[in-house]
Amino acid sequence: MSVPCDLHSDNESCSFLALHITLNASTQIHEPAEAASCVPVTTIINTHTHGDHTGSNEFFGASIESIPSDQSGAVVLRMLQGRLPIKTLALAVSRDLPIGTQVELTLKCDEAMRMEARAVVAGQELWARLEPPEDLKLDAEGAVERLLEDAEQLKRGSWGREGAYLRAEIETLTAGIREVLGTDPAKLHALGGRLRRLIEDYLGNPADPLQPSLEQFERELNALRRIAYSAKGTLLGLDREAWEERIRDIEERAHVAHTAVDGAAWRRVYNEVQALFETAHEEGFAARKLDDPTYIQDRIMAVSQYRLRILRALEDFVPSAAPEIGPMQTKERDRLMATIVDRVDPVLAKIASAEINVPADIRRNLDMVTSEIDRVETAHGRLPSLGLVTERGGGTPGGQA
């Protein structure tokens, strides 16, 4: 997208052209830029130095100066609990500070699980302290089983792509909880907390008759809005005006059901929104041009997120405590993680660096790594039963991802 705007100073006009170039697939950037601005391009000002902003500077030629507008720097200290960012501090540093300047980081953790972090760079200091996370009440009086029952309720009530995601997350966490129950209280609290947050994020209070939660309904409806309002032409046979009327009707029926605490009506409206969203998403996807840079960028992001989700699931896997099974599961888990590092990451790195930059080649390589991650995900699903006796009487083989 290019947006030329003229700035006047001392009767001289200087044209600035805003460019965001994702792919280095063309060397024909210089001339269209000059045509759009009506004056020669002499200087490129990049908002920052990420590759998707500076990667195509070279196509303008060596005679054109490139300047990053943001030359600031900072040391960022981010502290997390259960993979969730709890506190983030940033310390601005001089632009003259040499790259590679040493940062001294000190971490302390006491018996109560209070954590202190201190970072020193160029004579400046960052300091943060975290209190221990609040314990999840997982006592011996059935709290764990109630948590798992809530998770099963969520699994039974979900469907479609959203349901597939929830089932995968819940089954991984549930298997881990059952494995450490009675043997590793710290791990039990960590896994139980993650499962409880997942349930609350989707259902709110499991005892609430209106399921899913209002927040989840609004997220799904907003996702539908984004697809419907960004569509060019009709979508599912509806134009923009018809979509606005349809969404207004959904909102009115949802408001009536929510006010009346009518769980059945509320669920029907939510299912309608989810069905519309998934169908509209599929139709919108089918209508997109495969060489569209926006589509390709969306696919790259989706594959990267898929990779991260499966890698985290593997990292979170809790092997069996049984000496004859645990090492076998750990070995298979490590092999699957190595598969991602060896077969997926190099391809994504080549795409990110524009070493692979032809749209057709990018799509082909994304298809390849997606299939690789699919195989890893399938093998990950077999990890809990690896080495155990199955109904057929044999051990479950590890297989190859």
pLDDT digits (tens, 9 = 90+) for 129-144: 777 655 555 555 578 8
Select the highest-mean-pLDDT range: 36-45, 198-207, 249-258, 304-313: 249-258
pLDDT at 20 over 50: no
More confident: 30 or 99: 99
The answer on 229 and 260 residing in a single domain is yes
Average pLDDT of every residue of the chain: 75
Strand partners, 128: 117
**Preceding peptide of 132 cis, ω within 30°:** no
Q: Give helix then strand counts, H and E, for the chain.
A: 12, 9
Question: Tens of pLDDT along 52-105?
Answer: 556 566 655 655 555 554 455 666 766 665 545 556 767 777 777 777 778 887
The pLDDT assigned to 133 comes to 56
CA distances, 367 to each of 283, 309, 348, 374 (Å): 20, 17, 11, 10
Is the separation of the CB atoms in 202 and 212 below 8 Å? yes
Of the candidates 36, 37, 67, the one whose C-alpha atom is nearest the C-alpha of residue 53 is: 67
The answer on 46 and 23 residing in a single domain is yes
The answer on 237 and 170 residing in a single domain is no
Mean pLDDT of 102-109: 80
The percent of the chain in helix, strand and coil, each rounded to the nearest 5, is: 55, 15, 30
104 falls within a domain: yes
Phi, psi of 130, rounded to the nearest 5 degrees: -120, 130
Do the strands 43-46 and 65-68 form a parallel or antiparallel pair, or are they unpaired?
parallel
For residue 318, the 8-state DSSP code is -
The pLDDT assigned to 337 comes to 92
Residue 397's pLDDT band (boundaries 50, 70, 90)? very low
pLDDT at 22 over 50: no
The answer on 310 and 247 residing in a single domain is no
398 falls within a domain: no
The pLDDT assigned to 65 comes to 57
Tokens found for residue 30: 């210089």
Residue 41's pLDDT band (boundaries 50, 70, 90)? low
395 falls within a domain: no
Mean pLDDT of 10-20: 37
pLDDT at 345 over 70: yes
The pLDDT assigned to 350 comes to 92
**Residue holding tokens 């409880």?**
196
Number of domains making up the chain: 5
Alpha-carbon dihedral 369, 375, 379, 381, rounded to 10 degrees: 90
Give residue 242's identity as a one-letter amino acid code: A
Please state whether the predicted TM-score (pTM) of the whole model is above 0.75.
no
- Residues ≥6 apart with Cβ < 8 Å to 350: 356, 365
CA–CA separation, 68 and 43 (whole Å): 11
Question: Tens of pLDDT along 249-286?
Answer: 999 999 999 999 998 999 999 999 999 988 988 887 77
400 falls within a domain: no
Question: Tens of pLDDT along 172-204?
Answer: 888 888 887 777 777 788 788 888 888 887 777
Is the separation of the CB atoms in 115 and 79 below 8 Å? yes
23 falls within a domain: yes
The answer on 378 and 298 residing in a single domain is yes
Tokens found for residue 144: 């764990």
Question: Tens of pLDDT along 360-395?
Answer: 899 889 989 988 898 888 888 888 777 654 443 444
More confident: 60 or 226: 226
193 falls within a domain: yes
Is the separation of the CB atoms in 243 and 229 below 8 Å? yes
Strand partners, 79: 87
